[in-house]
Amino acid sequence: MASLSFVSSSLRTPSLTLRTTSHSSPKTSVSFSVKAQSLSQDDLKKLAAEKAVQSIKPGMVLGLGTGSTAAFAVSQIGKLLSSGELHDIVGIPTSKRTEEQARSLGIPLVTLDTHPRIDLAIDGADEVDPNLDLVKGRGGALLREKMVEAVAERFIVVADDTKLVEGLGGSGLAMPVEVVKFCWEFNLVRLRDLFKEFGCEAKLRVGEGGEVYVTDNSNFIVDLYFKEPLKDAVAAGWEIGKFEGVVEHGLFLGMATSVIIAGKNGVEVMNK
């Protein structure tokens, strides 16, 4: 099980509550003058993302995540580079949209081909369980996210408290599986049948206009919806990966080293 450790913060907004929790000690909290409840969810995500960015040091190779929370982190990195507070870093984006954002902010970009070792990756998550295992990829970038974050020495996840679950799949929202276009329906049926006992529903992802969603890698996504959490996420990931035509799945297991959770009561840091 993951344990929680106290963190101090130099964030300028005085409405932050930082909590530390361990399984062997009671919860404690430190409150500032303005209650965190006065902040919006986006404000809290931004604070948590900025906290993660504080871990960046000059000379680092960074994995740049994808999604609304990760975008706050990328924005903060750009601001620190522009002000001169941060220098001599390069980033590897996990999607085309993150690449566009990073380039617009003047963040130097490289690839895994030239920089196969990453010092720190920062990204969001769709579900976080008590062991800091994750569901990711509802934004469609799961393959590139996993490729980048799997080789990161440290992987900090930033999320809001609605992403906390007791077991992966427990939110009832999509757990994505990226599949090749060829005979995608064949794999959709196989994935659905694999998880019959969990009342699994499998759907081909479509966009807002009803068009089939295509990933940055020119693949399709089959979204799995569970009526109850997975009993063994490791076994589930292994079985999914055995299907020919499956490119990657959204179970990120044993990868996160820290998770920063933003909620109405403040910001909480969970460490492995």
- How many Å apart are CA 125 and CA 73, to the nearest integer? 13
Look up 145 and say whether it is catalytic. yes
Q: Are 228 and 243 in contact (CB under 8 A)?
A: no
Burial 30-39 (b: 16+ CB within 10 A, else e): eeeeeebeeb
Torsion sign (Cα): 233, 237, 243, 245: positive
- The residue from 99, 145, 178, 248 that is catalytic is 145
Cα 50–Cα 52–Cα 54 angle in degrees, nearest 5 = 75
SS3 118: strand
DSSP class of residue 84? T
- As a whole number of angstroms, the distance between CA 68 and CA 73 comes to 9
Which residues are annotated as catalytic? 145
